Structure formats: C-alpha cells, structure tokens
Amino acid sequence: MEQRLSWSFVLVLVLCAACGSATAPDSSGGSADRLVVWDWKSGDATSAAYLDRARADFAKGHPDVEVEFVAQPFDQYYTLLGAAVQAGRGPDVILFNGGGRIRDRADSLLPLDEYVAGDRQRLVGWDAFTKDGKTYASPVTLQGHPLYYDKALYERAGLDPDAPATTWDDFVEDCRTIADRTGATCFGVGNKEGIGIQFFLSCMGSAVLSPAEYDAWTAGKRNWTSPGVKRIFELWQQVDAAGLNNDGVNSTAMFNDAFALFQSGRAAHVIGLMSDVGHWKDFAEFLDPDDIGVMAAPVVDPAATPSLPYDGGIGYGVAKWTRDPALAADLVRSLTSTGALAAFSADAGAITSDTGIDVSAGGPAATAIAAGIKTGKPALHVALPSTTVDLMGRLSQQLLSGSTTVDEALAQLAASDRAG
C-alpha cells in the first residue's frame, strides 16, 4: 500500500509540473501552522524516541505548529523527491544523505548558515552538506567506514585479537591463517548494488594514498592516473581474485547479506558503517560486543597514514519553497538537538554529529570509532559527484567479472568526474 501511494504521489507531482501548476497533494507543506518532513527513518521503531524528543524540543517554541513526518521507502526516496522538486512543491524539511545526494539538489534548498550558527561548534560533519561555501543541511549522524574484525575468529586461529596486522602483507598472511584454521573468509563483501566499491575505496584509501594526495582528492583535485589511485582499484580486483572475499560478491547484497556473513562468523572482517545499520550495534545482536574489534586499514604504501574515513551521514535541510524558513530551520535545530541525538544514539546505535554524547555503553567498538573521529578525514567516495559514484558501482562489478580493466575503468571515472 505504501508503495502504491508513493508512486501515485509521484504521478500527481509530475502531472502538476507538466501542466505548470503549483498545486500539490496534501502531503506538501508550506502552511504557517504545519510543517511536513520527508525522511526514510520515521517509520523505524529505533527512531521513535529520537523524534519524540525532537518534537518536544520544537514544541517549546512553537506549541501551535503541527509537524508531520512522512516516511518514504528509501529505494524510491530520491525519485520521489526529484518529482517534488520538479513540481516546485513538497515537504518543508527534507532528510538527505551527505555528499552528492544533497549537493545535486542544493538549488532546491535554502542555505541554513544564518539559522544554525549556534550549532557549528557542537556538531561535526558539516562539510558533507556544504556546497560552494553554503550549508544546506544540519548533520544528524556521522557516517563512515570502519574496518571491523571478529576477535573470536582471531583467537581460534591462534592470532592475537588485540594486535591485528598493521601492514597489508601481514594482514593477508593473517587472513590465510584464519581461513586455514577456521574456514572463514577474510572479507564479507556485497557488491550486488554496486556499493561495495564505495566502502572499499573509502576504507582502504588512507592506507594507500599519501596524506597530501588524500587531502587533494577530497578537495576536488583528483588525479585518476596516479599510481596510488590505480593501486586501490587493483587491490579491489586482486582481493577477490585471491579468494579473500566470500564467493559471488557481485550477487551478494551488502544490505544485509554481506553483514550476515560477518555476524555469523563466516567472514573475519567487514567494512561496515558507523550508523545506523551495518554497524557495531547490529553486529552485537549476534556477536559478543567484546569480540567486535575495529582496526585501522592495514598500510599498503609506507607513505600513507590510515585514518577513519567519515563524513556527515544524514542531515535535514529546508526546501526553498517553504513559507516560513525560520520556522522550518527551528525544526531542523530541534532535530539536531543534543537531547534528540542522545536518544537516537541510544536506540539506533547511531554515532551522531554531537560528539559530546557518551557512547561508551555501546562497547569497545563504539568507543574505538568515537576515538577515531578527531583524527579522521572525509571519505573518498563522498567527495565524488553522485553520477561518478553510480558509474563506479557498475565498473566495480565489471572489474570483478573481468569485463573491463583498471585502466579502462579509471579513464571512464576521470571523464565522469570532470563532467561533474
């Protein structure tokens, strides 16, 4: 039913756009006493307390304003949003992923800098929601790609679970030992959706590129022909060819089949997320929290300095068409208030944008991730245009199937990146 309603809504929006009408369905916002929020989280039980706290915070200053959350299916979310943008009407406040997803739609959003100045020091992850020096959303979570490992498998293999390898060669040797003694693969990987390469690029990037090249990449000065960049994509191929991955990576869904391999002890490592799925809290439902380790990416090039790759994960922006921008921005501030984020952290396991929130109750993995935030750097794939990320997904599958070469893939990615 939810899907049929959603596509009906898209159809109405597209027809409205086609006939030049600004009329929109009831789920559009824009009234002085009602704000409509679009997201893909408000239907989750783990978000209930977070939204309750945010509503309560907002109601303190605006007791007569109704707030309606409309949960959309994530797999259709940006299509639905695109139709709303085309129609020029829709929700007042919108949840976005950081990076290309919001930058591609910045023309439809209000810059929030004047409204969120008071939150700049308390929250981190702003860059993922910034374009041309303007901020288009406030970060709710941080999203990154820690390298998780199973300490119990390390112990069964006779390895020190508290001293994982720090170099790539030692890491591969440990993986072979684990495979021989436990039967587990080195990595649990899913690339059916074409996103496994995003995780690999961002996790391994800081272990291959020099800090200077890494920083240049995230600043937009990318050299797709450099030996380091080529090495990352060669590794993507070689890891699979060497049997370090589970079988059938291109037919394995990252969400959640690849994570299931790790949780069930069939893979010793997985490049996971910080929040709020595929992360330490999810893994702890199946593994002892004390057995969930987080390690730095093993160094491939001695010139590299591994760091935690992370950015702002999800955040709320304000649509350009909202009737009262200050009112909508106040709701964004409530959705990123410390009380609301603390509830989201406790219930969903999210590493939130408010680093003052204590996550030690989450166990060693959450503590290790939080400790890496201070020295972490933006993830490499988040810096890319969304069209290039999508292309990279398709090419990564071809690299594993042998239907393209690394040089051919990098040439296409460079051209896409230049086109923006």
Per-10-residue mean pLDDT of the chain, 420 residues long, equals 38 38 41 89 94 98 96 92 86 93 92 97 94 96 96 98 98 98 98 96 98 96 98 98 98 95 98 88 94 98 97 95 95 98 92 92 91 94 92 98 98 95
H/E segment holding residue 316: strand 314-318
Instruction: Mention every residue, 6+ apart, whose C-beta is less than 8 A from residue 267.
Output: 150, 184, 185, 186, 187, 188, 246, 258, 261
Identify the pLDDT of residue 20: 33
From first CA to last CA, the distance across the chain in angstroms is 37
Let me know whether 180 and 300 are in one domain. yes
Number of domains forming the structure of the chain: 2
> What span, in angstroms and rounded, lies between the C-alpha atoms of 294 and 274?
11
Same domain, 287 and 357: no
Q: Are residues 154 and 279 in the same domain?
A: yes
Residue 31, pLDDT score? 63
Lookup result for tokens 């408000």: 42
Q: Quick one: pLDDT at residue 11? A: 41
247's tokens: 């079988």
Residues 294 and 316 in one domain: no
- CATH code: domain of residue 414: 3.40.190.10
Q: In terms of domains, do 323 and 183 share one?
A: no
From CA 314, how far away is CA 333, in angstroms rounded? 14
Whether residue 282 is found in the same domain as residue 173: yes
Residues 6+ apart with CB under 8 A from 318: 92, 93, 94, 109, 110, 112, 325, 328, 329, 332
Q: What is the pLDDT of residue 275?
A: 77
Token pair for 296: 């730095």
Residue 50 within a domain: yes
Three-class SS of residue 88? coil
The residues near 221 (Cβ < 8 Å, ≥ 6 apart) are none
The confidence score (pLDDT) of residue 190 equals 97
pLDDT score for 87: 84
Residues 279 and 407 in one domain: yes
- If asked whether residues 244 and 157 sit together in one domain, one would say yes
**Distance between CA atoms of 141 and 415, rounded to whole angstroms?**
32
Task: Give the residue numbers spanning the domain of 69.
Answer: 34-141+312-364
pTM here is 0.83
- Asked if residue 68 and residue 99 are part of one domain, the reply reads yes
Tell me, yes or no, whether 12 lies in a domain: no
